[in-house]
Amino acid sequence: MVYSASASVDHFPGASHQAKLTLEIVFGSRVLEFCHAGHSVFWEGDVASDAFMIGEGLLRLYRILPDGRRAITGFAFPGDVLGLAFHDRYLYTAEAVTDVRLRRFPRRRLHALATDCPYLHHDILRVIAGELEAAQEQMVLLGQKSAEERVASFLLMNARRVGKGQAVPISFDLPMTRLDMADYLGLTIETVCRAVTKLKQAGLVSMEGRHKVFLHNPAELSRFAGLDDFELAHPPWPKPALPPVETDPIETGEPGRGGFHQ
């Protein structure tokens, strides 16, 4: 009952205090597993024993309401890491949209490693912060945006993943079905279709087959989406996460901003 790759994992404890462990390295030591399209990697409510790093393919992450409605809370793309910040159970089901390759690592052990390795600790926090940011963005989308804005936002969100420097038209694949998009955007299939059609008619978007998308005018599309300009949005600030650690400046006792008092 031992993983074929666990020999290399055993190297971690020795090197951990000084080594610059990253999630990439930690997961890289594990065997590649496969999950076929339509099958689940884990289910909502299961004991959350492992974290996962996606190698290839696409996962849909969803919860089911008592009466059967499905809410897709996110998608997991290659490079994404799942399951770092749960209590003891998975909060959603992770199901393969396409055939998926991934690696798993025991959560407890991962967090134990992080205790000894600031680099890894930092890396984990960075991933979790990204998840939280995505969730925030989605709450804004679902709570405030119209159907067309949601679809436009969704397209831009995917465009962003392929890199911003891209030449126009920006092109990418959307392997998920219209139903997946609908359940993610809080709309129906038909409404998603109509929104896409409108964007096509406006000359902002075109498609090749069902899954290949071209964005001909990202800037204009951003206005459609209720976002700031595409280039400026996400992130308006550089990404290097937390600045270098140093001691804090003196506590000034300044009232701070906006009505602080002691």
Partner DNA sequence: CGTCTCCTTGAGGCAATTCAAAAACCGTGG
Partner DNA sequence: CCACGGTTTTTGAATTGCCTCAAGGAGACG
Residue numbers 109-138 binding a copy of itself by CB under 8 A:
109, 111-112, 114-115, 118, 121-122, 125-126, 128-133, 135-136, 138
Q: Which helix (H) or strand (E) holds 41?
A: strand 40-42
Beta carbon nearer to DNA, 38 or 118 = 38
- 12 to 4, 15, 109, 194, 222: CA distances (angstroms): 16, 5, 11, 52, 45
From the list a copy of itself, DNA, none, partner contacted by residue 239 (C-beta under 5 to 8 A by kind) = a copy of itself
Q: To the nearest whole angstrom, how small is the minimum distance from the Cβ of residue 182 to DNA? A: 7
From the list DNA, a copy of itself, none, partner contacted by residue 40 (C-beta under 5 to 8 A by kind) = a copy of itself
Q: Compute the radius of gyration of the chain from its Cα atoms.
A: 21
- Which DSSP string corresponds to 25-40? HHHHTSPPEEE-TT-E
Q: Which helix (H) or strand (E) holds 130?
A: helix 118-144
Q: To the nearest whole angstrom, how small is the minimum distance from the Cβ of residue 3 to DNA? A: 32
From the list a copy of itself, DNA, none, partner contacted by residue 194 (C-beta under 5 to 8 A by kind) = DNA
Q: Is 112 helix (H, G, I), strand (E, B) or coil?
A: helix
Residue numbers 139-178 binding a copy of itself by CB under 8 A:
139-140, 142-144
Q: Is 70 helix (H, G, I), strand (E, B) or coil?
A: strand
Q: To the nearest whole angstrom, how small is the minimum distance from the Cβ of residue 215 to DNA? A: 15
Residue numbers 166-205 binding DNA by CB under 7 A:
177-179, 186-194, 196-197
The verdict on 60 binding a copy of itself (CB under 8 A) reads no
The number of beta carbons lying within 10 Å of the beta carbon of residue 72 is: 22
Cα 164 to chain centroid, rounded: 17
Point out which residues bind DNA (CB under 7 A). 146-148, 177-179, 186-194, 196-197, 207, 209-211
